Structure 1
Amino acid sequence: MDFLKTAPMRFLLLVTGLWLTIFVLTRAVLLLTHLDEAGSGVVSVFGLGLLYDLGFLAYAALPLGLYLLLCPPALWRRRGHRWFLQGLLSVSLFAMLFTAVAEWLFWDEFGVRFNFIAVDYLVYSDEVLNNLLESYPIGTLLGVLALLAVIFSVASHKALTAALDAPLPTARGRLASVFALLVATGLSHQVLNQGSPRAQGGNAYQNELASNGPYQFFAAFRNNDLDYQQFYSTLPPAEVANQVRAELSEPNAHFIGQDPQDIRRMIDNPGITRHPNIVLVTIESLSAKYMGSNGDERNLTPNLDALRKQSLYFNNFYATGTRTDRGLEAITLAIPPTPGRSIVKRIGRESGFASLGQQLSAVGYDSVFVYGGRGYFDNMNAFFSGNGYRVVDQSSVPEDEIHFKNAWGMADEDLYKQTLKLADADYAKQQPFLLQLMTTSNHRPYTYPDGRIDIPSGNGRDGAVKYTDYAIGQFLAQARVKPWFDNTIFVFVADHTAGSAGKEDLPISNYQIPLFIYAPKLIEPRETAQLASQIDLAPTLLGLLNLDYQSTFFGRNLLQPNDLPPRVVVGNYQHLGLFDGQNLAILSPRQGLRRHDQALTESIESPATTSDPLIARAITYYQTASYGFKQQLLGWKAPKEGTTQVSER
């Protein structure tokens, strides 16, 4: 253990020792504010807390330790380097003190250590910064923290000088020290994670107090969960079970799950099963408000406006969320936007669901996710490949077949050309296909090939919308001459709108998107004002096929007559909503409940309780979805042997 007495290791132990002191003091202060709630488990709180503190320090110390141990002796002995290390100590103290204060403020609001909400604050940094500036004397606070950091740094000057004056390690000592750091980091990775050992039931305050804030913050990047049961209002399981069955009891459905909260049910669609191809295009950021047929006078969507008259068009249709991964989750899995990170991005838990692609693959379809960008973004490759699809993305396409690309991916026209190739190949094999596309052109930097439209590339969203419309027009014109066109259903839907911010947490009008279902030989064109959302698309498509299947979908077949109450589910990671066409219920962390009456117009906000029927409906959807995900009730179960496989058209 002589290597611990060398200058680099003594300096490293000094820094991490001061950090550990701040962690322990932070935990003690938080405990004092909730002694009654925490109960008598003080010893376990600090014992388990020490484990988490040391786990974080093992990660945090690794880069600093490697620098110190690999620093050349000549540089180590220079006066400027000593000043650098003294400054580094002061800066690290300031950072830890700042973190401690941030933890206090976060705990005061939410009653927990850092979690996904803290991570989410980075996404909404402008709002968070403005809130902090209005709520706290930030300038004074930062000044006080800087002064404290300097005071603590000066107070530790003697120990710092002794550390810097200690002998430098030999080559063998450096190697031993590096090995020790790597072992400590490896042990931390093996022993600790977001769910173990702190979250094994028992007193929630004790579990939270035993956490380490910085560790939890970084762990939340990988495990972005916001536990519904802990943070949101709930109803008794029996009440939820009765309500969810009332919400999903379509005339052709019967429940088969053993758990009362299991929504698994058999869907018996009437009629002879048919096997048309499906091309499902999810369009980046296409708000319904951009369409000329909805009143926009800039002539940005002439092709879509014409397509509207030729399609089954839904003019009262909504996205479930504000990001691409939420739209893909809703369209593919037909599940409400559970709090925290979407299922698409829940690494390690994103696969095995009864998706639209899985349902069609089981009866012989070639289910393909076709993405204009690289599918590692937002974990899309892992999600789709784990849920019944094969993936074709930008990296699958030869460079000479990509005529234009930007940071997000190939231009929409190149994506559509790849789609035509895939459709031709499947047709040649006499295999029906589901080609589920995700476009990229209607996204900043809003660039696209020159000469396509009358708005120069890179001049903003208007040009990107018009190019998006142009590419769709070209795609359909090329598809109409294909031999598979007459037996193909084309679906065009947005992943989310171009902007969802508003005065309310969930401004419902800003979630409205278009939905076109176009198949001139198969579906009569008409327009419907039926209230619906992305979670209703998958069951509607399977209904168009007259397919009988085992469903875990929360959505409904929009073409099947029923007496079910209308609803749309929307969310933004923290706030969860249910809109009934007139009023909006909102569920928020810390069991927050409120409603917005006349949500599309005056949007009159008022507090609410679980006895409110609209609130109860909202709780039912989100509590059931979170429960189903946690209990693995939404998993794929292959059809029994003997299910007809499609081999011809």
Structure 2
Amino acid sequence: MANPDALKQQNAAKRVLQPTVKSHLAFTLLSALIMMLMFTLLRVALLVYNREMILDTPASTFLEAFFNGLRFDLRIVVYLSIPLLLSLLSAHAMRLRGAMRLWLTAASSLALFVGLMEMDFYREFHQRLNGLVFQYVKEDPKTVMSMLWYGFPVVRYLLAWAVGTVILYFAFKGAERVTRSQVMTAPAARAVAPWYARIAIFMVVLVVCVVAARGTLRQGPPLRWGDAYTTDSNFANQLGLNGSLSLISAAQSRFSDDRTNIWKASLPQPEAQQTVRDMLLTENDKLVDPDTAPVRRDTTPPVQNTLPIKNVVVILMESFAGHSVGALGRTGNVTPYFDNLAKEGLLFERFFSNGTHTHQGMFATMACFPNLPGFEYLMQTPEGSHKLSGLPELLSARNFDDVYVYNGDFAWDNQSGFFSNQGMTTFIGRNDFVNPVFSDPTWGVSDQDMFSRGLEELKKREGKEPFYALLQTLSNHTPYALPTPLPVEPVTNRGSLNEHLTAMRYSDWALGQFFEKARKEPYFKETLFVVVGDHGFGNEQQISEMDLGRFNVPLLLIGPGIQEKFGARVDTVGTQIDIVPTIMGRLGGEFRQQCWGRDLLNLPEGDKGSGVIKPSGSDQTVAIISGDHLLVQPKDMPAKVWQYHLGPNADAKVVTNSPEEAELKKKLEAFLQTATKSLLDNTAGVADPK
């Protein structure tokens, strides 16, 4: 007779854990609900963290945004659940619950990390995660890590990530436990659905998942980012997106080999080219090389509109947003020195950066070339080695001396490589400063150090050949490391913007000190000073879906006799690519150029000005501004016309059935198409390449 204990052990050895199809589907569904809950909580956190942007938006708008968000969340949850869904095809795979829990925890933890990272990214850029992430990492990981460490609560986020990961682990473990099927003996394991039944069930589940991943039942393309734009609030629309999906899309765009982001031709090339010529050429221009170059021309500015100037100094101010400049109507006394300077110069009230990153501000301002889809980081691309029709090219031809003074490292953004190729010869960067007042461990010396060195360099050139200079500030950038004690009072009444606006106030003070000393020098009376922001930054007021607060910057021209000829203020629309021709128009004399902007002080009568803008990163939305109208063209979505106004109560309203829509859309498409072709063909300079 057999030993009862031995039989018991033998039977126990045959017992195996074999989930049924029903229990596996239950585990998959419950795990998906846990991930959906995580994404919803991340969206709530993003809303609360950036609650200053809610303003008077009704709660119903955010409920709509959260409903839209469920569709985007469901899409990525389906992707993350693919290993579990494929396990339906194998009885052995369904038993690997431990591996499934590990995958779910790891994948969800990564999505949690992305969501936490988005909190401050959105506050800074008013965009979900995009190509900027890869751009920063590509530049200099050491600098980026320093910026993150000193500028953001890294430890707090890491702790939150660790706690969240632990919670996710136990949540998935609990889901596995409550959906675990009964333990059966090995022979009983044959009760699991046969392979043909599991294939049938898998096909049904596959159809459901495909529909869920598409996010829509419509014919045509699946769920797109534009499907989140169903409200009048840009903040709410952005909340409806999923940061992980946005980052994946940005990665696909960033690392694609076929450069899918380059603007595709939509008009016959002769028609597009003629449209651009009509946009840019005036009675002072004579087209040359029309068969090879789209807008190469000889320009002869009217003598009566020139100024008695010898030198040019361009001051590119980091993050100098128009919405916080007192001279443009903003209260708070953030820019008192600039406001006083505006009283002695010519201030452009409706001026915009071509992009939302310093990179675009540099090449648009100095090289006079637009910010194009696919070429947002032009200075780092092979096409950035092409000769362009910028200030270095035009003034080098007139034997101007030059100097570029910058707080930071010229290797960043390939500045030294790009600008030396364009014609600049003298670069003063962070390693050239001796005993600076303050040095930021991330970026470089303070703005007051940069301006002090700028004064020295200008004085060296006094009385010699004419010179031009580019002075670029940097202190008003994350992590906002400023000298102590601060020479200005910190801003304390603007919530999350306090630190940013304090840095802006400090930069304004440093600018004021520069002018106070420069005006005592002999060269001051024969120099044109151009003060402009490299880009703006977002605040509580999001003007249209383009968020014009990130683009609106002041442009101030200070020079002898400028107010007597042109007045104190101009409301003509302009962008940074208009700066070079405007400078050349004040210097006078015929010059050959192929700038993609115009002299804003020699426009035809009644011309209200225009400009093409686009955000940095992987966002392929583009827009054209004309007067007080703005046409926004998202990629693969219908265009929309807005009527906007700037100032302390800035806002924008959609214009339905606008009579200007067709014309603006054609101009925008023609401009982007022609400029892109010219860049790719290497015909954007003042002469054809040899």
Alignment TM class, shorter chain as reference:
0.5 to 0.7
Matched ranges for 1:610-629 at <5 A: 612-629=662-679
Is 1:270–2:302 an aligned residue pair?
A: yes
Deviations 1:414-466 (A, max 9, x none): 111111121122226x1221111221111122222123434359960121111
Please give the secondary structure, in 1, of the residue aligned with 2:462: helix
Deviation, structure 1 residue 566: 2.5
When residues 297 and 539 of structure 1 are mapped into structure 2, their CA distance, relative to the original with a 3 A threshold, is: same
Matched ranges for 1:163-182 at <5 A: none
Structure 1 CA distance for aligned equivalents of residues 444 and 76 of structure 2? 42
When residues 473 and 609 of structure 1 are mapped into structure 2, their CA distance, relative to the original with a 3 A threshold, is: closer
CA contact (8 A) 2:309 2:527 kept: no
CA contact (8 A) 1:487 1:522 kept: no
Deviations 1:543-588 (A, max 9, x none): 1000321111111111214144631211124111111123222333
Please give the secondary structure, in 2, of the residue aligned with 1:490: strand
Structure 1 CA distance for aligned equivalents of residues 307 and 516 of structure 2? 28
Equivalence for 1:235: 267
Equivalence for 1:369: 404
Structure 1 CA distance for aligned equivalents of residues 399 and 66 of structure 2? 52
Deviation, structure 1 residue 510: 4.7
Equivalence for 1:144: 81
Structure 2 CA distance for aligned equivalents of residues 216 and 512 of structure 1? 25
Which segments of 5 or more consecutive residues in structure 2 lack a partner in the other structure?
1-64, 94-247, 493-497, 646-650
Runs of 4+ in 1 over 6 A off after TM superposition: 128-132, 149-155, 607-611
Is 1:588–2:643 an aligned residue pair?
A: no
CA contact (8 A) 2:323 2:549 kept: no
Equivalence for 1:598: 643
Corresponding residue pairs, total: 458
Structure 2 CA distance for aligned equivalents of residues 495 and 153 of structure 1? 60
Deviation, structure 1 residue 281: 0.5
Deviation, structure 1 residue 260: 7.3
Equivalence for 1:567: 610
Structure 2 CA distance for aligned equivalents of residues 253 and 523 of structure 1? 25
Partner of residue 624 from structure 2, selected from 567, 578, 583: 578
Please give the secondary structure, in 2, of the residue aligned with 1:436: strand
Is 1:416–2:436 an aligned residue pair?
A: no
Structure 1 CA distance for aligned equivalents of residues 625 and 546 of structure 2? 10
The worse-fitting range, judged by mean Cα deviation, of 374-383 and 252-261 is 252-261
Please give the secondary structure, in 2, of the residue aligned with 1:492: strand
Equivalence for 1:64: none
CA contact (8 A) 1:327 1:496 kept: yes
The worse-fitting range, judged by mean Cα deviation, of 371-380 and 340-349 is 340-349
Deviation, structure 1 residue 514: 0.7
CA contact (8 A) 1:343 1:349 kept: no
Please give the secondary structure, in 1, of the residue aligned with 2:383: coil
Structure 2 CA distance for aligned equivalents of residues 322 and 374 of structure 1? 20
Letter of the 1:265 partner, please give it.
R
Equivalence for 2:391: 356
Structure 1 CA distance for aligned equivalents of residues 256 and 396 of structure 2? 30
Equivalence for 1:252: 284
Is 1:328–2:362 an aligned residue pair?
A: yes
Is 1:541–2:577 an aligned residue pair?
A: no
Deviation, structure 1 residue 636: 4.2
Matched ranges for 1:9-48 at <5 A: none
Equivalence for 2:193: none
Deviation, structure 1 residue 305: 0.9
Letter of the 1:258 partner, please give it.
P
Deviations 1:16-67 (A, max 9, x none): xxxxxxxxxxxxxxxxxxxxxxxxxxxxxxxxxxxxxxxxxxxxxxxxxxxx
Please give the secondary structure, in 2, of the residue aligned with 1:496: coil
The worse-fitting range, judged by mean Cα deviation, of 609-618 and 528-537 is 609-618
CA contact (8 A) 2:349 2:571 kept: yes
Structure 2 CA distance for aligned equivalents of residues 323 and 129 of structure 1? 29
Between structure 1 and structure 2, the one with the greater Rg is: 2
Deviation, structure 1 residue 589: 2.5
Matched ranges for 1:450-469 at <5 A: 450-456=484-490, 460-469=499-508
Structure 1 CA distance for aligned equivalents of residues 512 and 543 of structure 2? 36
Letter of the 2:590 partner, please give it.
D
When residues 321 and 229 of structure 1 are mapped into structure 2, their CA distance, relative to the original with a 3 A threshold, is: closer
- Percent identical: 26
Matched ranges for 1:394-413 at <5 A: 394-401=429-436, 403-413=438-448
CA contact (8 A) 1:292 1:305 kept: yes
* TM-score of the superposed pair, with normalisation by structure 2: 0.59
Structure 1 CA distance for aligned equivalents of residues 254 and 487 of structure 2? 43
Structure 2 CA distance for aligned equivalents of residues 129 and 438 of structure 1? 42
Is 1:442–2:476 an aligned residue pair?
A: yes
Letter of the 1:386 partner, please give it.
N
Matched ranges for 1:431-510 at <5 A: 431-456=465-490, 460-499=499-538, 502=542, 504-508=544-548, 510=550
CA contact (8 A) 2:317 2:473 kept: yes
Letter of the 2:72 partner, please give it.
S
Letter of the 2:602 partner, please give it.
Q
Structure 2 CA distance for aligned equivalents of residues 255 and 454 of structure 1? 51
Equivalence for 2:164: none
Letter of the 1:342 partner, please give it.
E
Which segments of 5 or more consecutive residues in structure 1 lack a partner in the other structure?
1-127, 156-213, 640-649
Deviation, structure 1 residue 479: 0.8
Please give the secondary structure, in 1, of the residue aligned with 2:582: helix
Equivalence for 1:515: 555
When residues 421 and 611 of structure 1 are mapped into structure 2, their CA distance, relative to the original with a 3 A threshold, is: closer
Is 1:388–2:428 an aligned residue pair?
A: no
When residues 243 and 136 of structure 1 are mapped into structure 2, their CA distance, relative to the original with a 3 A threshold, is: same
Structure 1 CA distance for aligned equivalents of residues 382 and 341 of structure 2? 40
When residues 216 and 403 of structure 1 are mapped into structure 2, their CA distance, relative to the original with a 3 A threshold, is: closer
Please give the secondary structure, in 2, of the residue aligned with 1:484: helix
* TM-score of the superposed pair, with normalisation by structure 1: 0.63
